[in-house]
Amino acid sequence: MTLLVSARFTTTVAQMHQLPVDGLPEVAFAGRSNAGKSSALNVLCNRRRLAFASRMPGRTQALNFFAIGPQDQPNGFLVDMPGYGYATAPGAVRESWIGLAGDYLRTRQPLVAVVLMLDIRRGVTALDHGLLDWTPVTVPVLGLLTKADKLSRNQQQAALRTVRAELALRHPSRHFDLVLFSSTHRIGIEEASDRIAAFYRLTQDSDHPETQSNDAV
């Protein structure tokens, strides 16, 4: 589970024309405001304040790119998307989120996977469904059921079943991987890391069989 530990901030994208042009695979991290995205990023990347880089003025409504893998030859980018659904966000902020995030998810060729943070106690909200509607069905989605520590084992399993059923009902043509997750209690971290690392590897293997390498994870 070492690939994500190499994450380092690279660039901020506020408009589509600023996106990197090198075509390296991108895994986007998305979720409602307060779903635990920053905490998850920090624990997955083993940094205390990696996600802090996304909170700097001007970067909060933008896509923040973190390079992954070797310094001289990155495997790809982790893309931190702005949280959505913040109750008091002014209309203009909501509009700009929809514009950039919607365009990015709908049209971005190098996007190989979405990691969706879902607060286990809230389940899937209307905004989460909207985000999934934008994401092409060919792009796999890994759902992290965050703050799992807040529920008992039995409640966790029940929540997992409910979320799985709701996603299957609303997005029948899409496959979901779901992982029970807690940043504070370190639940599901290795499993999530391994799955995310595999997203970068998968595309490399299929696009460039000759560049397969064992040091990807």
Residue 47 touches which of Mg ion, ligand GTP, none (Cβ within 5-8 Å per kind): none
Provide the token pair at 106: 């709908």
* Whole-number CA gyration radius for the chain: 16
Residue closer to Mg ion (CB basis): 30 or 216: 30
Residues that bind ligand GTP (CB under 6 A): 31, 33-39, 83, 146-147, 149-150, 182-184
Distance of closest approach, residue 205 Cβ to Mg ion, in angstroms? 32
Residue closer to Mg ion (CB basis): 61 or 204: 61
- CA 119/CA 32 separation, integer angstroms: 8
Distance of closest approach, residue 71 Cβ to ligand GTP, in angstroms? 27
How many Å separate Cα 12 from the centre of its chain?
Answer: 16
Give the total of residues touching Mg ion (CB under 5 A): 1
Distance of closest approach, residue 57 Cβ to ligand GTP, in angstroms? 14
- CA 71/CA 150 separation, integer angstroms: 38
Question: Is residue 38 a contact residue for Mg ion (CB under 5 A)?
Answer: yes
- CA 66/CA 79 separation, integer angstroms: 6
As beta bridge partners, residue 67 has: 8, 77
